[in-house]
Amino acid sequence: MFKPVLVSAVLAMALAAPAAAQTEELLKDRFEGHRVTLRMDLPGTSDGVDVHADARRAIDYGKYKDDLKRYGTAIRAGDTVVVTLVKVKKDLIEFQFGGGGFGTFGDDTSTSVYLPLLDKSDRERDLEQRIRDEEERDRRRRMERELSDLRDRRERENRRITAERERLSEQKRERIAEERLRGGSRFNIRYEDRVPNGMRPEDLIASLAEYVDFGARSEMRLDPDPSPSGDITMLRKGVLRGDAERAFGRPITSSERREGGIVITTLVFDVGEQRVSAEFIEDVLVRYSITSK
C-alpha cells in the first residue's frame, strides 16, 4: 500500500532535479561575472551571511556582528565586486563574491603549527630503571646526576620548540587573517523548505535588494514587466514600483524611512475591499502585507 506514495516521492525528486538545474543555469547566466556594489560589510569567511528569505527578520545581526569581529571585513559597504558563483541547493542559494570567502575547499583554516616535543630518551628510561635497582650509593648518585642533566637538556630543547611553535603559529594567524581579507565573501539565501520553483533573477534581486546594489535595473531584468491587472495576486518580491502603481492606481499614502544607509519607501493602496502595504527599495518590492479595510 506504500508503493503509490513511494512512486510519487521518486517522481517528485526526479522532476525537482532538472528544475533546480534550470534555475541555477538561469541565475548563473544572469549574475556570474557581473559587478555589484555592496550595501553592507561582509565577513572574511566562506560561512558568509545568511539571509532568511521567508522570515520577517532576514538577518541575525547578533551573529553578523560576531562574525565581523572574528573574521574581519573582507568586503566593505560601497565596494564594487564581481559575482563569482551562484549555486542553487535544496533550500538555499549561494551568492558568492570575489571567490566566496576564505575557508572554501583547499584553504587551510587551522592557525596551529605542529612541532612535536621531545620524549624521554632511551638513556633516560634506562637510567630511571637502573637507579631503582642500584643499591650502591655513589653509583646511584652518579646516575642521578646524569639523569638530571639529560632531563634539563630535554626540557630546554622543549622550551625552545614551544617558543618556535608559537612564533610560527602567530605568523600563520597573520597570514590567514590577510588571506581572509582577500578571499571574498557570500550571501546564503535560505528558504524554509526549498528554493521556490521558477525562481527568477528579479526574485533574487528582491531578496538581496537591502544589501546589494545591482546597478541599472533594466540590465538585470529577464522577464517582461507584469501586465497591469489590479489583481493582488501579481504581488511578489521583485515587482517594480511602476508596475504596482499601474496595477493598483495612485497610492493613498506614501512615506519613507531610513534603516542604516537604506531608504525604504512604503506605499499603501486600496484594492477593492483590501488594503495593500508595499515596501520598496530603489523601486523594487521587498515586502508587502494585505489586510481587509
Q: How many domains does the chain have?
A: 3
Examine the domain organization and report whether 76 and 35 are in the same domain.
Answer: yes
Domain that holds residue 235: 224-293
Same domain, 143 and 251: no
Residue 274 sits in the same domain as residue 141: no
89 and 23 within one domain? yes
Q: Are residues 245 and 290 in the same domain?
A: yes
Query: Domain ends where: 200, 220, 240?
Result: 220
- Do residue 198 and residue 231 come from a single domain? no
Torsion 107-109-111-116 (CA) sign = negative
Each of the 293 residues of the chain gets a pLDDT tens digit; together they read 445 544 444 444 444 556 667 889 999 999 999 999 999 999 999 999 999 988 888 999 999 999 999 999 999 999 999 999 999 999 999 999 988 998 876 677 788 889 999 999 999 999 999 999 999 999 999 999 999 999 999 999 999 999 999 999 899 888 887 888 888 999 999 998 889 888 889 989 989 999 999 985 434 444 444 444 456 777 777 778 888 888 889 999 999 998 777 788 999 999 888 899 998 888 888 788 888 87
Q: Which residues, listed in sequence order, are joined to residue 81 by a DSSP beta bridge?
A: 36
Domain match, 83 and 42 both: yes
135 and 205 part of one domain: no
User: Is 4 inside a domain boundary?
Assistant: no
Q: Quick check: is 272 in a domain? A: yes
| Alpha-carbon Rg for the chain in angstroms | 31
Q: How much of the chain is helix, strand and coil, in % rounded to 5?
A: 40, 25, 35
Establish if 107 belongs to a structural domain: no
User: Are 21 and 87 within one domain?
Assistant: yes
Whether the full predicted model's pTM is greater than 0.85, yes or no, is: no
Domain boundary among 161, 195, 220: 220
